[in-house]
């Protein structure tokens, strides 16, 4: 049976610091993503065919794009919170 408790986690926090409202992102529950060195090591190996290297290169590129997109999303959310 699935967990009946569902929680909503805020994406930003707004806190009063002195007389100012300060907006920060809630990064606590966001996993730190990175490209594994295993894939970089596979690219450096001489025994892989051009097809394998192209496949790995494309997957690394897609992973970097995803990480960049998620970072941009966090920045956009922070900017929206600061303008509200």
Question: Mind listing the pLDDT tens digit for each residue in 3-60?
Answer: 788 888 899 999 999 999 999 999 888 888 999 999 888 888 878 888 988 999 999 9
Residue 70 has pLDDT above 80, yes or no: yes
Residue 84 has pLDDT above 70, yes or no: no
Global pTM value:
0.75
Residue 79 has pLDDT above 90, yes or no: yes
Q: Residue 12 pairs with which residues in a beta bridge?
A: 25
pLDDT of 43: 83
Distances (CA, A) of 62 to 15, 25, 51: 36, 25, 17
């Amino acid at each position: 049976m699935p967990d009946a408790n569902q929680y909503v986690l805020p994406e930003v926090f707004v806190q009063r610091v002195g007389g100012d409202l300060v907006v920060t992102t809630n990064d606590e529950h966001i996993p730190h993503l990175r490209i594994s060195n295993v894939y970089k090591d596979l690219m450096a190996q001489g025994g892989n065919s051009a097809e394998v290297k192209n496949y790995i290169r494309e997957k690394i590129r897609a992973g970097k794009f995803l990480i960049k997109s998620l970072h941009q999303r966090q920045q956009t959310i922070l900017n929206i919170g600061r303008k509200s």
